[in-house]
Structure 1
């Protein structure tokens, strides 16, 4: 079980579904949300500013297509030296379209552990739990 995960998506229904699905499992104790990549980076900036390690998400579910800052731009910024303290945070890209080019592009980011179709579901959470347990 994770202590804290972050769901980044501009669709409020997707965020609600994510929270409800995760709440039905023992996947995470707490769920934070952000409406786009910029909000997610602001969250990490506030952790950095306050020298806080307690509220560090261990896992991020990331949408790709969002206004303000999309998933690719978030990953570019998040993988930079500015956020090197948080690069151990695992990221799962969730997308409504699985384009083979996007799959290949996602592999270039070491923190991205998987690329899965929306919406999040219980089977997916079981799969990710097993995957993470195998990595330990």
Structure 2
């Protein structure tokens, strides 16, 4: 399958969720590189350092994490220079079904999906990213 998604970043402190989400991505398209960060701080640092082979087109971001949570990550991410942010599409991926979380994501210009990551979520995202 041809895709314009080459790299996906998972930011989630739950190793089991990351394992299943990486499998879902690979099942969708085995050519997509998956980068996993267990903390939002580490992921933010990697984006700041702008390692060319690790700049994702898509980030799936958990909300509830120790240290820096998903909302705090977004606060810091949107402070970055636009060239550091590139045109990364961020989707909050959470077990939360709190309407306030969904509304907050929308207000911040990011998508919101419920865990687990599915082929349907990936297909929908890919259709939005088609040139």
TM-score of the superposed pair, with normalisation by structure 1: 0.85
The 3 A distance-change label for structure 1 pair 109 and 57 is same
Distance 1:100 1:90 in 2: 21
Q: Is the aligned partner of 1:119 residue 2:122?
A: no
In angstroms, what is the RMSD of aligned CA positions?
A: 1.7
The 3 A distance-change label for structure 1 pair 28 and 129 is farther
TM-score of the superposed pair, with normalisation by structure 2: 0.88
* Counterpart in the other structure of 2:43: 40
* Counterpart in the other structure of 1:10: 13
Task: Flag as ranges the 4+ runs of structure 1 deviating above 4 A.
Answer: none
5+ residue gaps, structure 2: none
Distance 1:5 1:91 in 2: 10
Bigger strand share: 1
* Aligned length in residues: 127
Within 5 Å, which residues of 2 pair with 1:1-136? 1=3, 2-26=5-29, 29-47=32-50, 52-80=51-79, 82-85=80-83, 86=85, 88-110=87-109, 112=110, 114-133=111-130, 136=131
5+ residue gaps, structure 1: none
